[in-house]
Amino acid sequence: MTRKSSSVTIRDVARHAAVSVATVSRFINRTAPVSQEVAERIQQVMLDLNYKPHVAARQLATRRTLTVGLVIHNMHTDFFAPLLSGIEAVVSENQYNLLVATYDYKTHHHRPLPIGPHNTDGLLSYADCLNEEQLTDLCRVKFPVVLIHRTAPPQLRVPFVTVENKAATYKLISHLIETHGRRSIIFLRGPHEQEDSRWREQGYRDALEEHGISFNPDLMLCGEFNRHGAYTALKKFLARRHPPFDAIFSGDDDAAIGVYKALREAGLRIPEDVSVVGFDDARLSTFLNPPLTTVRAPTQLVGQTAASILFDLLQERTVETCTLLSTEIVLRRSCGCTYENPGEPFQDVVR
């Protein structure tokens, strides 16, 4: 049961963590190192007991680490390079250090957060790396957190930065239908729990409905926002008896690489037989053959904006809870166009 922080002492923390008071003091004040296992145990007890060291004492003991953290699922795709670049620029400008950890509560639920109040002054969390309980714990101890590519739980006032997904996907699917006559369009989902994927799917469904095309669940595949997942899903689809299709929304640009490979192995030409479109406008998009029609998302700006908001929180400035950045369509040859046209930006004002 959570206790009020005013009634919790450092002795309580030491007793629950099965360590000495001196060890807890060393952990809080950074006067000497403690092991990773002990640090994680003390940190979890502090969260459970809602224990906050006295502010003045922390300042006297140089509690500030001059480090902020970033938690991401992995670094296996090209998507994260511009995101990290944007974050790092702001962190360096503020003369802080950046600590990056890969963590996913679904697979790492048995161990505490590698980054948090015990080793950073604030945290950036990508998508669904942290669950609602973990976010609630961090908010309870007033630890600064900014979410990237996900909205905050309704009961928590946690600022978040994301991009417009729905309107741009709607426009891209409409382009396939109106300009290229495509009507049987495969949609490759990203991870089911990820908000970007859900908003893109809504844009896809809205475009089909607007153009009088019935939704076909057999054309929904799980690409997981990566080339290997997309390749495997499409290979399995092509290997069985399947409905006809003439276009593929690959979910994102990394997944498009897997889509290209599976289609070529099946002897299908892009865009003559199948139009392919993506999302993000990753650096590799123009180097694919043919160059990929996609949605340009301001990924580097997302990182810059999220980091700037975090430093505003560290300075106790007022910040906006929701920051929604616009996206734009980039037309290239993979959809069937013979020219490149950056198009117009799309801003969806309702989340």
Choose the weakest-confidence range: 10-14, 44-48, 95-99, 102-106. Answer: 102-106
Mean pLDDT of 127-136: 92
Cβ-based neighbours of 156, under 8 Å, separated by 6 or more:
132, 135, 136, 139
202: pLDDT strictly greater than 60:
yes
109: pLDDT strictly greater than 90:
no
Write out pLDDT tens, residues 30-49: 666 788 888 889 989 988 99
Q: What integer best gives the mean pLDDT of the chain? A: 90
Q: Report pTM.
A: 0.81
Spans of all domains in the chain? 1-62, 166-297+328-346
Higher pLDDT, 201 or 1: 201
Domain 1-62 has CATH 1.10.10.10: no
Mean pLDDT of 185-213: 96
Mean pLDDT of 189-197: 93
Write out pLDDT tens, residues 272-301: 999 999 999 999 999 999 999 999 999 999
Choose the weakest-confidence range: 17-26, 233-242, 296-305. Answer: 17-26
CA distance 269 to 273: 5
CA geometry: angle 84, 85, 88, nearest 5 deg: 80
Mean pLDDT of 45-63: 66
Q: Could you name the CATH architecture of 166-297+328-346?
A: 3-Layer(aba) Sandwich (3.40)
pLDDT value, residue 31? 61
CA distance 273 to 266: 11
Mean pLDDT of 5-14: 81
Mean pLDDT of 320-325: 97
55: pLDDT strictly greater than 50:
no
Q: Are 1-62 and 166-297+328-346 equal in CATH topology?
A: no
Mean pLDDT of 159-173: 98
What are the CA-CA distances from residue 74 to residues 126, 128, 135, 159, 246 (Å)? 10, 12, 20, 22, 32
